[in-house]
Structure 1
């Protein structure tokens, strides 16, 4: 009889072209995702470009100690958690609600039109969306302030107001991404067996009952996995969006870790920026916290259910 090792070699030979095709993305991942990780070492050094990464002196965790006492970092950390949690509550939940409601639309043509319209904003860059928002909300020429003035109010600089800025972030994020985020839920709904709905109808269930007791429970595995992935990325509060919309007047509520790292690491050198080592330390802290959150919550979910990322 053919040995187990021989069978494995035969199977590998039969699938050799698949492994060749897999080689390119693996090499790409190694070169552009893993190889640059050696640069993390500058988070533990007083980096001097003239000396290079390896010859710069170790700083005995000085950057991490500085983070604890840095008011701007603590403010950015607080804002990141607040904005990310609000995105998780509103953006994540509304995508599920939108998919459930869209699934209940009977008219196929109208359903396709609504889907297409809801997907379109996702393909606009935040640069374009931010330009549109600046024009709409401009105190001098924006249509929103024009309407406010028509009703006897005074023009408001919404993007420079700490009261309005975060709600505007949430509103634009929901408008741009909810339609696209609902795709995976709609795909999962389409895989639900029609026999379940037919059996529910035979028992007298209406459309709301079918949505609440069949559709939504069937989405739990997908919702769980996507929630875990979003939670692992909770310290990414939306860098592209905020960078294109915020200004120094709203730093108190809008400055997040990513924008803080950008200013410290790649800002104006005359203002004491270009601190690559300190920025790397802050970025490393963010990523470690994200991994810890993901692993912890995944283990909690796995203990209470059969679902999880791994």
Structure 2
């Protein structure tokens, strides 16, 4: 009887001891640059860990991959790229890494803008500067993560839906702020042409001495033409970008008398302690600076 009592006691201990919840399955993802990595992290929630190849404040046009980046690529369950010519370095990295997979191009389905400059037409890859485009990103990312982890599809959908709701609220807030600015004052001078999608979505005209990529240099004639356009407009403020060389836009500003309005985050997030550590904060930061500069004083 005593032995039976001990056995029943042990059974009670094991039966009522709290069970340890199984750790969630985590998809190991690699994203090409910080803005995309942040969106992947929000869509996947606890079921994804993300590494960005291009670091905070890094230029996704002129990135030079390292052997450590090749290792990250080889170890990834899924790789995310924006596409549309942004990551011109990815082919070299994939070859060096022996990567045989197919990256997920998150910009599929977006209405891509082409800048017709003379006889040449260049695709503008900076799609994320329009929030509706990032909602398309989020749906593409959601579907790719579910394909990689179908057992957690419901959790991933829930996380994606919550993030998309935040994006829709962000889009509404940006439109509300821009609407407070008279149409004739909605002009902004930046380092290079990164805000074309923002301009189309929210009704702002952007002017820049440098083209769509920081890999190309602005001609003297193009800079002189821009200076003339600014002098004829009501533009009084210029903005630097965190991932680009400031000298060219400062040259234009000196010739036109424009004053600095702060630093915009167009292609890269800031480090964690900076003013743009995630996509939503980045878009709010940029909009607030631009609205302040455009507002009549």
* Alignment TM class, shorter chain as reference: under 0.3
Greater strand share, structure number: 2
TM, length-normalised to structure 1: 0.24
Structure number with larger C-alpha Rg: 1
TM, length-normalised to structure 2: 0.24
More relative contact order, 1 or 2 (CA 8 Å, 6+ apart): 1
